[in-house]
């Protein structure tokens, strides 16, 4: 999501060489699983991050894992179209069959991602559940792209635990490929996944690769702080994530307190907490320095007292799905 076209989000890095430098440093540090989506920058993220990056450094395909996603309408032949801007006028007709989780869209979206990436997909994920398409149609189509060798595995992103379990049940009943990964929102400020989703995926041996482990950067700085991304993040403002509730302020202050005691950035402490839950968080890193901070989190083991202290103020929130 970090790399692509500023027309999608102002905070996106559109300098290819800078993007390559960050990705190469990640590769050298052993961070070799790259997550993207056709939605990001209207397809440009898939091209820049992976299709061109791997060729730039002549990196062996077998040394990396590529994950991408589908759901939203995407058309990289329309340079001025941005998927997050909503559909207007003739776009509604143009994209009628290019969204959701129908068999037609899954197969076409997968082929388009393959074209942009220039290689096969390791984990092909549904970005959200689709209430307008029968679940059997979705899971059969996903099984088809696995059987055709277009992707090795399939996964899912944010949805209700009951929806995820139902998709899995349908696949198992029919002998189709099941989801091997759940990519959900999970961090110190959003822990609703602990109620149903996490117990389910742990019981069934499904990996968890949470997105937004720093809650769009809010867990990486003091409450009174700000960043270029926060000032220009439409999603953060639209969902009012930076309009803190009292318990969120307390959590951020506690992260800051432990950060000072540990002599490590707040982002390292917040990431260490997510790692302590047995997850593999997705990190949107916009500099080599932040990349190296992320790796430092792997060597931070929070004590039971620190974990309890960070978690104690949390209160239930509206579900992300």
Residue whose C-alpha is closest to residue 184's, from 165, 164, 158, 205: 158
Active site residue 20: no
Rounded CA-CA distance 4/60 in Å is 23
Pairing of strands 151-157, 179-183: parallel
φ and ψ at residue 124, rounded to 5 degrees: -100, 120
Angle at 121 between CA 57 and CA 129, to 5 degrees: 135
Q: Residue 130 in contact with residue 103, Cβ under 8 Å?
A: no
Rounded CA-CA distance 305/184 in Å is 26
Residue 37's DSSP bridge partners are: none
For the residues of 9-28, what is the DSSP string, one character each?
A: -TTSB--HHHHHHHHHHHHH
Q: Residue 163 in contact with residue 139, Cβ under 8 Å?
A: no
Q: CA Rg, the chain, in Å?
A: 19
The residue from 20, 27, 34, 40 that is catalytic is 40
Rounded CA-CA distance 36/206 in Å is 20
Rounded CA-CA distance 280/183 in Å is 9
Q: Give exposure, 135-156, as e/b (b: 16+ Cβ within 10 Å).
A: bebbbbbbbbbbeeebbebbbb
Pairing of strands 151-157, 65-70: unpaired
Residues in the chain: 321
Helix (H) or strand (E) holding 183: strand 179-183
Residue whose C-alpha is closest to residue 140's, from 108, 112, 175, 100: 175
Start-to-end CA span in the chain (Å)? 19
Just list the catalytic residues. Answer: 40
């Amino acid at each position: 999501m970090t790399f692509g076209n500023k027309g999608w989000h102002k905070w996106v890095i559109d300098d290819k060489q800078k993007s390559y430098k960050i990705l190469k440093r990640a590769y050298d540090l052993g961070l070799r699983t790259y997550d993207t989506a056709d939605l990001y920058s209207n397809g440009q993220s898939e091209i820049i991050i992976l299709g061109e990056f791997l060729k730039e450094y002549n990196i062996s395909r077998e040394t990396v894992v590529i994950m991408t996603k589908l759901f939203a309408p995407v058309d990289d032949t329309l340079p001025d179209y941005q998927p997050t801007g909503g559909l207007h006028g003739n776009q509604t007709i143009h994209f009628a069959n290019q969204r959701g989780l129908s068999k037609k869209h899954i197969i076409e979206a997968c082929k388009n991602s393959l074209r942009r990436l220039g290689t096969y997909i390791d984990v092909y994920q549904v970005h959200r559940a689709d209430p307008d398409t029968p679940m059997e149609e979705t899971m059969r189509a996903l099984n088809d792209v696995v059987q055709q060798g277009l992707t090795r595995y399939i996964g899912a992103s944010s949805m209700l635990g009951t929806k995820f379990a139902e998709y899995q049940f349908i696949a198992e009943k029919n002998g189709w490929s099941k989801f091997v990964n759940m990519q959900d929102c999970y961090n110190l400020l959003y822990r609703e996944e602990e109620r149903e989703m996490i117990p389910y995926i742990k019981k069934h041996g499904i990996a968890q690769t949470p997105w937004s482990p720093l809650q769009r950067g809010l867990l990486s700085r003091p409450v009174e702080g700000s960043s270029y991304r926060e000032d220009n993040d439409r999603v953060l403002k639209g969902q009012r994530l930076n309009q803190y509730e009292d318990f969120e302020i307390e959590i951020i202050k506690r992260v800051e307190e432990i950060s000072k005691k540990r002599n490590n950035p707040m982002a390292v402490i917040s990431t260490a907490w997510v790692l302590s839950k047995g997850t593999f968080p997705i990190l949107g890193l916009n500099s080599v320095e932040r990349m190296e901070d992320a790796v430092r989190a792997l060597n931070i083991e929070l004590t039971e007292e620190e974990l309890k202290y960070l978690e104690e103020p949390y209160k239930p929130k509206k579900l992300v799905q």
